[in-house]
Structure 1
Amino acid sequence: MTAQQLIEVDLAFNAMAQREGTGKAFIAFAADAPVLIRPGSMPLLGRSAFVEAFSQVTGSALSWEPLTAEIAASQDLGYTFGRYRIREGGETKAHGVYVSIWKKQADGSWKFVLDGGGTTPQEVTLP
């Protein structure tokens, strides 16, 4: 697994969100015991809380793009860092950054074990 391949996993995650809705994508790409951290909110801890929260999310106002990634030498853990946008009615309402920690699963797929992010005053680009 290379960093570019992990970026492709994150891109597939976003593509599913755009096709089938953010809720379905977050449930599909989450590991068995995911953690979701958002500013000003209690974290979502564990699969049942995660499924309960994201089963209620419809649409795809959220879109994201990984900017960089790294894979551990063990080849079973990595992260992606990127930027996101929230749109309403075709207009960007907010943007920010995120980091997702990914873990290789027993079946060879990659699922995120931790996801967190926050808003930024302007869109972030890499130097």
Structure 2
Amino acid sequence: MSVQQLIATDKAFNDMAQKEGTGKAFIAYSAEDPVMIRPGSMPLLGRTAFVESFSQVKGSALSWEPLKAEIAASQDLGYTFGRYTLREDGAIKAHGVYVSIWKKQSDGSWKFVLDGGGTTPEQVAIP
């Protein structure tokens, strides 16, 4: 697995969010026991809480772009780091950064096991 393939997975995750909705994409790309760290809120811990929360999310107000990725020498863990934009009624509401920790699944696909991020005063420039 190359870094480019992990970045492609993160981009496909965003593409699904734009086409089918953020909630559906987050459920589809999360591992069986995901953790989501949310600023100002308790983290989402485990599949049940994750599905309950994201099943209520409609539309695709969140879009993101991976800027960097690395994969462990073991080839079973990796991370992507990137920037996101949150829109409300088409207008930009916030910019931010995120990190997703990905774990290779038994079928060879990658699912994230931990995701988190925070807002930034403006859009982060591509390094």
Do the two structures share a fold, i.e. TM-score over 0.5?
Answer: yes
Structure 1 range deviating more: 84-93 or 39-48: 84-93
- Tell me, in whole angstroms, the C-alpha distance in 1 between the residues paired with 2:79 and 2:3: 9
Superposition pairs for residues 104-115 of structure 1, below 5 Å? 104-115=104-115
- The Cα shift of 1:126 comes to 3.3
Partner of 2:42: 42
- The Cα shift of 1:52 comes to 0.4
- Tell me, in whole angstroms, the C-alpha distance in 1 between the residues paired with 2:15 and 2:99: 17
- The Cα shift of 1:89 comes to 2.2
Normalised by the length of structure 1, the TM-score is 0.98
- Tell me, in whole angstroms, the C-alpha distance in 2 between the residues paired with 1:15 and 1:67: 15
Q: Secondary structure at the match of 1:78?
A: strand
Partner of 2:13: 13
Provide structure 1 residue ranges, at least 5 long, that are not aligned to the other structure. Answer: none
2:100 aligned with 1:100: yes
Partner of 1:80: 80
Q: Which amino acid aligns with 2:105?
A: Q
- The Cα shift of 1:90 comes to 1.9
Q: Secondary structure at the match of 2:17?
A: helix
For residues 1-33 of structure 1, what are the alpha-carbon distances to aligned partners after superposition, in whole Å with 9 as ceiling and x for unaligned? 111110000000000000000000000000000
Following TM superposition, where does structure 1 have runs of at least 4 consecutive aligned residues deviating by more than 2 angstroms?
Answer: none
Q: State the aligned residue count.
A: 127
- Tell me, in whole angstroms, the C-alpha distance in 1 between the residues paired with 2:33 and 2:125: 31
Provide structure 2 residue ranges, at least 5 long, that are not aligned to the other structure. Answer: none
Q: Which amino acid aligns with 2:26?
A: F
- Tell me, in whole angstroms, the C-alpha distance in 2 between the residues paired with 1:125 and 1:108: 32
CA RMSD of aligned residues (A): 0.6
- The Cα shift of 1:80 comes to 0.1
Partner of 1:23: 23
Normalised by the length of structure 2, the TM-score is 0.98
